[in-house]
Amino acid sequence: MIGKTFFETGLEAILINSLLRLLGGSSGTAMVLLSCLALPAMAEEAPVTGSKVEAEVKNGKVFISARLDGAFTPDTMKVLSGGAPITFTYVIQAKQERALLWDRLARQVVVKRVVKYDTLKKNYLAWEKRDDKKAEDEIEFEEELRKAEYKKSGEDANDEKAVRDKASDGSAADNADAPPMMDPLILPTEGEMIQWMSDTGAVDMGPVEGLGSQGTYYAMARLKVKSMNSSPPLTYILFFVSFLDFDTGWMMSQPFTMPAAEKAPAPGGS
């Protein structure tokens, strides 16, 4: 770890005093702030201690699963327990080997999950979205997190129109066709939360038809972990904990082939 200079220590003290004034002297949040600033000054390499990427062809579809162990370090848990949401973004691909050209990207699905600790009820709130068209940065959970905050504060979080209007300065017309907000998955324990966030389960990559039965395929997956901005005061301190973000890089499965006889079942068939 790189030691702090006199200038850095003095700047840190000024920032702490300024933020505590914004917090109105809240001792609980002050402890979270001080803990975050006390974390190591540089990002470490991806802390994953084990990984597994597997592909399976079943019932005329391709399924890929990814499991990663060790992503929740003590520092990550410290930030999460302070109320800051953390996202796990899995980018999952099925690729076809080619001898003379770059391997072909056959399918891609982004599985994005976010978890937030409920400091009042002492459980974890989690959401998941999957998309095979949007880029990972286009998949957002801002409305779901905002709804959770309103519910925590006692406001009518079930009135989704009101929640959206508050976030957009009352421009209800912009939100008229917005999809319903997702309700969170409630995970009572730390162990259940880590298990759910670290394992995608079997992700449906789509039907075998269109991929072709010739050639060899393999699955690839990567995980990006990122701390999210939250409502004040955490908005002001996440600058200091952004070093917790990491990217595992690509992980690969064993090669697999498409059985020639594997067809998607006909509608209404057994």
pLDDT of 252 above 60: yes
84 confidence band (pLDDT: 50, 70, 90): confident
264 pLDDT exceeds 70? Answer: no
Scanning the structure block, which residue is given the tokens 């391997």?
Answer: 103
Q: What is the pLDDT of residue 229?
A: 58
Per-residue confidence at 233, pLDDT binned at 50, 70, 90? very low
pLDDT tens across 2-31, in order? 444 444 444 444 444 554 454 454 444 444
Mean pLDDT of the chain: 75
pLDDT for 209: 85
Q: At what angle do helices 234-241 and 6-23 cross, to 10 degrees?
A: 160
* pLDDT surpasses 60 at 140: yes
User: CB of 250 within 8 A of CB of 90?
Assistant: no
* pLDDT above 70 (res 1): no
Determine the pLDDT at residue 41.
Answer: 37
Of 252 and 22, more confident: 252
Q: Confirm if 74 and 36 have CB atoms less than 8 A apart.
A: no
pLDDT of residue 29: 47
Instruction: Identify which of 34-38, 178-182, 230-234, 246-250 has the greatest average pLDDT.
Output: 246-250
Q: Report whether 87 contacts 141 (CB < 8 A).
A: yes
SS3 annotation, the chain:
CCCCCHHHHHHHHHHHHHHHHHHCCCHHHHHHHHHHHCCCCCCCCCCCCEEEEEEEEECCEEEEEEEEECCCCHHHHHHHHCCCCEEEEEEEEEEECCCCCCCEEEEEEEEEEEEEEECCCCEEEEEEEEECCCCHHHCCCHHHHHHHHHHHHCCCCCCHHHHHHHHCCCCHHHHCCCCCCCCCEEECCHHHHHHHHHECCCEEEEECCCCCCCCCEEEEEEEEEEECCCCCCHHHHHHHHHHHCEECCCEECCCECCCCCCCCCCCCCC
CA angle 111, 186, 112 (to 5 degrees): 10
For 31-68, what is each residue's pLDDT tens digit?
Answer: 444 444 444 433 445 566 778 999 999 999 999 999 99
Q: Which residue has the higher pLDDT, 224 or 37?
A: 224
Higher pLDDT, 178 or 80: 80
Q: What gap in Å lies between CA 240 and CA 201, rounded to an integer?
A: 33
pLDDT for the residue numbered 181: 74
Cα three-residue angle 77-82-83, rounded to 5 degrees:
105
pLDDT single digits (tens) 185-213: 999 999 999 999 999 999 999 998 878 76
Domain limits, the chain: 1-42, 47-137+185-252
Phi/psi zone of residue 262: left (φ > 0), alpha (ψ -120 to 50 degrees), beta?
A: beta
pLDDT digits (tens, 9 = 90+) for 85-131: 999 999 999 999 998 889 999 999 999 999 999 989 999 999 999 99
What is the distance between the alpha carbons of residues 6 and 240, in angstroms, rounded to a whole number?
18
* 1-15, 67-81, 150-164, 235-249: least confidently modelled range: 1-15
pLDDT at 237: 44
**Are 136 and 110 contacting, i.e. CB atoms less than 8 angstroms apart?**
yes
